[in-house]
Amino acid sequence: MEAIVETKAETIPQCIDELHGTWAAWLHDLLKPHVTRVVVSDPRKNDLGKEGNRNDRHDSRELAELLYRNKVKSVYHGEHGLRTLKELARSYLAITRDLTRVTTRIKAIY
């Protein structure tokens, strides 16, 4: 089956559910509960487009054939719970920078 799916978080699971059955991290996490296996690949690492015209339809069919033969090289394996840690670290750094900026500003006023 071929389908053009709107890039919205609501429509992708609907499309997957209709099958009764890849932006990388969010798509991986979005699809993971709905499928048995998610593979995120890079066309440059999977030898796509070596023959024939390059277009999305041709590349998707070539990629589907590689997936069918289990020859797709995966480039993303999921974060395994690190996303929360990364978000907390980013928030900590942002708060620290803001606190330093505000403290410096207050000292400059007085």
Check if the beta carbon of residue 27 is closer than 8 Å to that of residue 76. Answer: no
The model's pTM? 0.40
Task: State pLDDT tens for residues 27-61.
Answer: 667 777 877 777 777 767 766 666 666 777 777 78
Q: Which of 43, 73, 40, 72 is nearest to 56 (CA)?
A: 43
Task: State pLDDT tens for residues 59-94.
Answer: 778 878 888 888 887 776 666 667 777 788 889 999
Residues 6+ apart with CB under 8 A from 66: 46, 48, 72
